[in-house]
A = this chain, B = another copy of it.
Amino acid sequence: MIKGALIFAQSGGPTAVINASACGVIQEALKQDCITDVFAARYGIDGVLNEDFIDMRKVPKKEIELLRITPASAFGSCRHKLPPLESNEYEYKRLLEIFKQYNVRYFIYNGGNDSMDTCNKIAKYMLSNNYECYVVGVPKTIDNDLMCTDHCPGFPSAAKYVATSCHEIALDTAVYRNGRVTIVEIMGRDAGWLTAAASLATAHGQGPDLIYLPEHPFNIDKFAKESKYILESKGHCLVALSEGIKNSDGLYISSLSLNNSVDSFHHLQLGGVANFLAIRLTNAYGIKTRAVELSLSQRCAGHLTSKTDTDEAYLAGVKAVQCAVTGLTNRMVIFNRVSNNPYEIEITTADLDGIANAVKELPEHFINSEGNFVTQAYLDYVTPLIQGENTIPYENGMPRYSKLNPKYKTK
């Protein structure tokens, strides 16, 4: 294969295992004879455009190995999307210039939907300019909404965190004889994969009584009736719902909340959809409520991850490098599920053209007919993904994550 440098970059929102993929990419790249330098760009594609690189040969092996269990994007991220080539070629030309300058022949981009779009555009641009460069994407998203793959690295660990936290919150909110309706808000604007994982707590013995997902129209009165019924019969009711639940007109419930508040307070925003619904239930139905937002921890809780996920994320990084050095380009690493019991996946790649900018929603048969819980089929899908725990090294009572010093920069 052609000799040259490899650039790796991370993009989009962090996950608890995105650095496990980084670890796989870097360790594999350092082994490959055809790869002369291994650079990690800081802040995603922005770092490439700014020549802001960390020279991975300078980083101590221990810190690279610790990336395997370190949450959030260790090299920084960005939300920058390359413009359509037709409208603005400037950044593409700049990328090609930089790739030539550093003799970059391998480019690995780790991210979600938008990042795969960027990856796709770069691959095509290099091809059409006859610059030999192998471009492979590594998926990551806690939303699990990328096409063509059984699941995305990052989702299983977020699912394990959500399930465990919901189980613990279920124990916590059941302690009083006369409890409340507790509403837990979970990430996922357009797909309910992660919120659905709260059902694992229920299957485990104690968890949400009701689950509402963006894929099924949400009706506030129906919700009030369902939660009130459970509160009255059990003494407490736990609800898990996606930040992205929508009414039958397709409007986000959170935007109704926003409209309500903007009427009176310029710019004021309420806490979120769980808070909005908690207030609504109390005011309109006299129900005692509490809103809980799992917030950032669901995507960055490195202390509670799925070993299955960490291992797969690592192998996805390894696979990306292996594909690139065997001459594949414009591909994304994907997982095919070979069997469910015992759980087995095949790690392969798919054409980026069919992935970029599409969203994979939760299929209908994963949601019950009432639209207020998941089905056994979903549980069968998700259960293997949360198996296994990582051994996290602790130092002075805290997780010891990788530390990357700016002195490792190329310039």
Contact = CB atoms under 8 A, between A and B. Distances in A.
A171 B72 CA distance: 6
Contacts of A291: 271
B299 A172 contact: yes
Contacts of A182: 296
A299 B405 CA distance: 34
Q: How many copies of this protein are present in the complex?
A: 2
Contacts of A271: 270-272, 275, 291, 293
B283 A267 contact: yes
Interface residues of A, number: 75
Contacts of A275: 269-271, 275
A62 interface: no
B397 A200 contact: yes
A300 B171 CA distance: 8
Contacts of A265: 260-261, 264
Contacts of A261: 265
Interface in A266-298: 266-272, 275, 279, 282-283, 290-297
A143 to B, nearest CB: 16
B397 A160 contact: yes
A175 interface: yes
Nearest to A397: B386
A71 interface: yes
A76 B303 contact: no
Interface string A389-406: 100001111110101000
A46 interface: yes
A90 B368 CA distance: 51
B171 A297 contact: no
A291 B396 CA distance: 28
A204 interface: yes
Contacts of A72: 168, 171-172, 174-175
Report the 7 A-B pairs with minimum CB-CB distance, sorted nearest first: A271-B271, A72-B171, A386-B397, A172-B300, A264-B264, A77-B175, A72-B172
